[in-house]
């Protein structure tokens, strides 16, 4: 039996309204995209071309910040894969967890792309193999995102493998830069 609160909402013991949750996820995705556009416009207005070589000091600082954010994000994804002792997850909870995974993978993709560009700016002061590893990590994340839900593809890397490679890349970057 569901009770209604004074504001017309449902009691906290009831399951969340799936339409409201899906609307919230849509809003979050829209805001995330808007923030990406805002950042790109701000960079352009400040006279910085993301495809251009950055000065060494700027590239190093951006790389350090992106690396730490990437490590944190990938660890969140690793911890999200830890099995919980609970009953079967309902469809709405599964959709929310899957949405969170995709949003974090998209963020990781943007971070690795920026890190690759900064590593190119620092080359030859960083090893060619590290620059190449950034490209491989980016390719694996994109492959995973592009084929999300397509289980017939044999070339798709497994999420745990992508996470492990991404973490290794971030640690390698910490040691070399």
Does 123 fall in a domain? yes
- Work out how many domains the chain is built from and give that number: 1
Does 35 fall in a domain? no
Distance CA(69)–CA(155), nearest Å, equals 28
Domain range enclosing 168: 55-176
Domain harbouring 105, CATH code: 1.20.120
Digit-coded pLDDT (tens) for 93-122:
888 888 899 999 999 999 999 999 999 999
Pick the residue with more confidence: 106 or 154? Answer: 106
**Best CA proximity match to 98, nearest among 90, 161, 19, 167:** 90
Does 59 fall in a domain? yes
Instruction: Compute the CA torsion angle 164, 78, 73, 97 (nearest 10 deg).
Output: 130
Check: pTM over 0.75? Answer yes or no.
Answer: yes
CA atoms within 13 A on the CB side of 33: 6
Instruction: Name residue 4's beta-bridge partners.
Output: 10
């Amino acid at each position: 039996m569901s009770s209604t609160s004074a504001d017309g909402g449902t009691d906290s013991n009831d399951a969340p309204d799936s339409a409201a949750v899906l609307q919230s996820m849509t809003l979050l995705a829209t805001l995330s995209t808007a923030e990406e556009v805002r950042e790109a416009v701000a960079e352009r207005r400040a006279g910085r071309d993301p495809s251009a070589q950055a000065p060494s000091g700027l590239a190093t600082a951006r790389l350090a910040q992106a690396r730490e954010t990437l490590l944190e994000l990938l660890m969140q994804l690793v911890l999200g894969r830890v099995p919980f002792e609970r009953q079967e997850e309902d469809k709405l909870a599964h959709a929310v967890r899957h949405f969170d995974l995709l949003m974090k993978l998209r963020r990781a993709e943007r971070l690795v792309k920026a890190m690759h560009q900064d590593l190119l700016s620092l080359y030859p002061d960083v090893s060619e193999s590290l620059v190449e590893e950034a490209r491989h990590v980016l390719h694996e994340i994109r492959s995973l995102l592009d084929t999300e839900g397509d289980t017939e593809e044999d070339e798709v890397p497994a999420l745990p493998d992508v996470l492990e490679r991404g973490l290794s890349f971030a640690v390698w970057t910490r040691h070399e830069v």
